[in-house]
Amino acid sequence: MTLSIVGLGFGRTGTESLKKALEILGCGPCYHMFEVLPHQDRVDEWVSLVQGKSPDWDKTFDGYNATVDWPGAYFWRELSAHYSDAKFILTTRDPEHWYESMAKTILPLLKASSEDPNSLANQMFISRTFGGNIDDRDHVIDVFKRHNAAVKAAIPASQLLELEVGAGWERLCDFLGMDVPDVPYPWGNSTDDFDGNIDRATAQREAVEA
């Protein structure tokens, strides 16, 4: 199995809902940050990749047909080159609303992990994605906008779907050439759900390590 669908959007753009949607459509399993957090070996692998380890993407994504969210989205250029025949999905939302969601979820989590220079939070996000500055609202929003613009400039329009939060099934299924399923489009990992999802992922990792 190799990746046939690659999500290029930042977290807090409906990525967990898209993961569930792709799996409902039979396009999974789908990789997501929640596939990483319960497994320390996966966390360590991504830290090593950020630090320059030569990737073996087929091994990293072995058993998965799709990936969305970080950490894959951090390596969007590399993945779009390696899986050049894939379909690409840029999940996005209004930048102001995206920042509001980030400020209530991911940014506090990053700050809580900021004391460890070798954490995934520091290596991938604080230091590199956001250039060491996650406290400047305008800067964080600008990073988001520049990422989306870069993706749209680099990926052929015929292979790229820009999918707004709340878009539902129709545009996704049309892009994938699939029928709309007779179930509601999934909705997950809302701001209210975020902390509980992180706690469950952490508990799973602690159980594995015990």
Where does the pLDDT of residue 87 fall: very low under 50, low under 70, confident under 90, or very high at 90 and above? very high
Q: Is 210 contained in some domain?
A: no
In this prediction, residue 115 carries a pLDDT of 87
Q: Is 185 contained in some domain?
A: yes
Is 9 in contact with 19 (CB distance < 8 Å)?
no
CATH of the domain at 145: 3.40.50.300
Structure tokens at 2: 């190799």
The vertex-184 CA angle with 178 and 185, nearest 5°, equals 65
Sign of the C-alpha dihedral computed for residues 68, 70, 72 and 74 taken in this order: positive
Where does the pLDDT of residue 39 fall: very low under 50, low under 70, confident under 90, or very high at 90 and above? very high
Q: Residue 142 CB: number of other CB atoms within 10 A?
A: 13
Computed over every residue of the chain, the mean pLDDT equals 92
Q: Is 6 helix (H, G, I), strand (E, B) or coil?
A: strand
Q: Is 103 contained in some domain?
A: yes
Q: What does each C-alpha distance from 184 to 20, 133, 169, 189, 193 come to in angstroms? A: 11, 38, 8, 16, 19
- Asked if the model's pLDDT at residue 203 lies above 80, the reply is no
Q: Is 209 contained in some domain?
A: no
In this prediction, residue 210 carries a pLDDT of 44
pLDDT in tens, 102-135: 999 999 999 998 889 999 999 999 999 999 999 9
Report the C-alpha gap between 37 and 120 in whole angstroms. Answer: 10
Structure tokens at 142: 């600008």
Dihedral angle over CA of 156, 75, 67, 53, nearest 10: 140
Report the C-alpha gap between 73 and 192 in whole angstroms. Answer: 23
Is 101 in contact with 191 (CB distance < 8 Å)?
yes
Q: How many domains does the chain have?
A: 1
Where does the pLDDT of residue 205 fall: very low under 50, low under 70, confident under 90, or very high at 90 and above? very low
Report the C-alpha gap between 77 and 182 in whole angstroms. Answer: 35
- Asked if the model's pLDDT at residue 208 lies above 50, the reply is no
Q: Is 12 contained in some domain?
A: yes
Q: What does each C-alpha distance from 29 to 95, 142, 156, 190 come to in angstroms? A: 29, 32, 25, 21
The parent domain of residue 95 ranges over 5-204
156 upstream amide cis, omega within 30 of 0: no
